[in-house]
Each structure stands twice: as C-alpha cells, then as structure tokens.
Structure 1
C-alpha cells in the first residue's frame, strides 16, 4: 500500500557500507522502520541521507506492506525547514537527548495523531526560541500525558511525590517517594506552558535533580526504558 504522510525522524542507524535503517513516527501509520538502500553513497538520488537527521520534519511517500518488516520509502522531502535546531550547539545537543528519549519511549506502531502534533509543535517552538534552559524538563513532563503516566495532581498541595504510583501524598510509603525542594520545583512545571516554564529559575543542581527524578519516573512506568547516553552532556550544557 502506498501512503503519503508527514513524518518525524526518531532515529537512524547505519547498516552495512551504504544503507540506513531509519525509524520514523508517521502521522497516519504510527512508528515505522525503513530500509534506505545505497543512500549513504548516492549523491543524485531522490532520497538523501541528510534528510534523516534526528527530529527532522518530513513529508514521505512510502510502500507499507504491514508485515512487521522494514518498509521502503519512495520519496522524501523536508516538510518544514528548521532554522537553528541542527546548527545551534545547545539545541543540537538537546536534539540528540530528545531523540534518545523518543527512541526509548515510542515503541508501538499504533497511530497517535495527538502525540505527533505535540512533537511537531514543540520542535518548531524549540527551533524558534532562545530561552530554552528548561525545555527538556518541560518536554518530558508534557510527554507523560501522551504516554499515559502523567501525575495525578488532585492532591498537589501535599508534600511527597510518590513516583511509583504517580501521585502526591502526606508521607513516604516506599523507596520511590520524593520530597523537599526538588518536588516543589517539579510542581511549578505542572500545568504550565513552554513559555511559562522557561521563566522558572533553577540552579544547575536543581535542574539536574529534577531531570534525574523524571528519568527514574520514566524507568518505573516504561518497560525497557534506559537513561540517555547524552544525559551527561546535557547536564553540562545547562549548568
């Protein structure tokens, strides 16, 4: 079946000397993996390897056999060109971090247009703004809504955050309960827009502690989730 759809590049992997295997989140067919034969050596083909940088927004025409095997892309072009996402050092470091996060969290082929719209909108927002020091924290918190484990905020006034159950409570009940200033900062992000969250003042230590807590929370609620290898670089950049 031939499909034409917007798509977001999640991950790409070199295969052999000249091929790429790319993972794309498509708007109409969910997460799909494609084999791009000879793309690393071809200079005049319709499909260029440069199109498949992480988080690139594409329009693709592809053959989907829907047999659980690698699909084939017939044509691909940039849907919306980024101005700074792949050229600004700080943003490009964020791109690799977010790409690793999405590789570990989006694993089903089910169509999720709301998630696609969220990612498309936020990447364009990141591309257009300069005040982005809290972007990765806000991104992860909002992503939870689409993954099904956004915290229950009905008792947000309580002081302890139970990461295992995803709720706020009075007292610690297991080893995954957090309290103190980290939880207070975490609460500030809940329910805010990206613009508002960028104005939350955090020290390097506070930002790293919130991020560390969020990654543990992801590990608790997503089977097989692994902390991104780019985490240490990100912590240094936003210090």
Structure 2
C-alpha cells in the first residue's frame, strides 16, 4: 500500500556497508521501520542519509506491506529545516535524549495523530526558543498524557506521589511513593505550557531528582522501557 505522510525520525542504524534501517514515527501509520539500501554510499541520490538525523521532520512517500516487516521509502523530503536543533550543543543533547525516550516509549504501528501533533509542536518549540533548561522535564510530563498515564491531579493537595498508581495521596503505601521537593516541583509543572514551565526554578540536584523520578514513572507504566543512554550527558549540561 502506498502511503504519503509526515514522519519524525526516531532512530537509524547502519546495516551492512551502505544500508540504513530507519525507525520513523509516522502521522498516518504509527511507528514503522524501513530498510534503505545503498543510502550511505549514494551522494547524488534523492534519498540521502542526512535526512535521517534524530527528530528530523520529514514528508515521505512509502510502500507499506503491513506485515510487521521492514518497509520501503520511495521518496522523502525535509518537512522543516531547523534553525538550531542540530547545531546548538545543548539542543542536540536534548534531541538525542528525546529520540531515546521515543524509541522506548512508542511501540504501536497505528495512527496516533494527537501524539504526532504534540511531538511536532514540541520539537518546533525547542528549535525556536532559547530558554530551555526545563524542556526535557516538561516534555516527559506532557508525553504521559498521550501515552495514557498522566498523573491524576484531583488530589494534588496531598504530599505523596504514588508512581505506581499515578496519584497523589496523604501517606506512603508502597515502595514507589515519593514526597519532598521533587514532588512539589512536579505539581508546578502539571498543566503548564512550555513557556510557563521555563520560569519554574530548579536547582541542579532537584532537576536531576525530578528527572530520575519521571524515568522511574515511565518504567513502571511502559513495558520494556529503559532509561536513555544519553541521560548522563544531560546531567553534565544542566548544572
């Protein structure tokens, strides 16, 4: 079946001498993997390896067999030419972190337009703004809304956050209940915009603690989720 769709690059892997296996999150067909033969040696071809950097926004025409096998891209063009995303060191580190998150968090080979639109909006916001110290925190919290485990905000007056259940409660009931400054800061982030969240004050230790808590939250709610390998880089950058 021929498909024309927007797509976000999640991951690419060298295969053999000149081939790439590319994982894209497409607007019409969810997560798909493609085998592009000869793309690493082709300097004059229409499809170039530079198209498949992490989080590139593309427009593709592809052939989908819909059999769970590797698909084939027929044509591709860059949907948006970024201004800063792959040239700014801090933003590039965030790009790899987010791509790692998406590689582990998204698994469905089906249309999820709301999730795609959120990711596109978030990526373009990151490309266009300079104050980004809290971006990855806000990104993860908002992402839970589209993956189905956004925290229940109806009892936010309580001190403990139960990561296993995704609720705030008055006392500790299991090993995954947390309280303290990180939980207080989490409450500040819930329901905010990207712009507003950048004004939330976080020390290096609190930002690190909140990020660790969120990653445990993802592990508890997404089967097979693993902490990103790029996590240590973020710890060095956001001091």
TM-score of the pair, normalised by structure 1 = 0.99
Corresponding residue of 1:169: 169
Distance (whole Å) between structure 2 residues aligned to residue 30 and residue 218 of structure 1: 20
- The alpha carbon displacement at 1:130 in A equals 0.3
Corresponding residue of 1:60: 60
Corresponding residue of 1:109: 109
Corresponding residue of 2:23: 23
The one-character-per-residue Cα deviations of 1:143-171 (angstroms, maximum 9, x if unpaired) are 00011110111000111000011000000
> Does the 8 A contact of 2:2 with 2:63 survive in 1?
yes
Distance (whole Å) between structure 1 residues aligned to residue 223 and residue 192 of structure 2: 28
The one-character-per-residue Cα deviations of 1:183-235 (angstroms, maximum 9, x if unpaired) are 00110000100000000011000000000000000000111100001101101
Corresponding residue of 1:94: 94
The one-character-per-residue Cα deviations of 1:39-88 (angstroms, maximum 9, x if unpaired) are 00011111000000000000001111111110100110000111000010
Runs of 4+ in 1 over 4 A off after TM superposition: none
Q: Secondary structure at the match of 1:205?
A: helix
- The alpha carbon displacement at 1:29 in A equals 1.1
- The alpha carbon displacement at 1:173 in A equals 0.2
- The alpha carbon displacement at 1:2 in A equals 1.0
Corresponding residue of 2:196: 196
Distance (whole Å) between structure 2 residues aligned to residue 186 and residue 155 of structure 1: 13
> Does the 8 A contact of 2:60 with 2:74 survive in 1?
yes
Distance (whole Å) between structure 2 residues aligned to residue 229 and residue 67 of structure 1: 30
List alignment gaps of at least 5 residues for structure 1.
Answer: none
> Does the 8 A contact of 2:28 with 2:110 survive in 1?
no
The one-character-per-residue Cα deviations of 1:101-148 (angstroms, maximum 9, x if unpaired) are 000000110110000000000100000000000000000000000111
Distance (whole Å) between structure 2 residues aligned to residue 209 and residue 215 of structure 1: 10
Distance (whole Å) between structure 1 residues aligned to residue 68 and residue 175 of structure 2: 40
Q: Aligned Cα RMSD in Å?
A: 0.5
Within a 5 Å distance, the mapping from 1:60-79 to structure 2 comes to 60-79=60-79
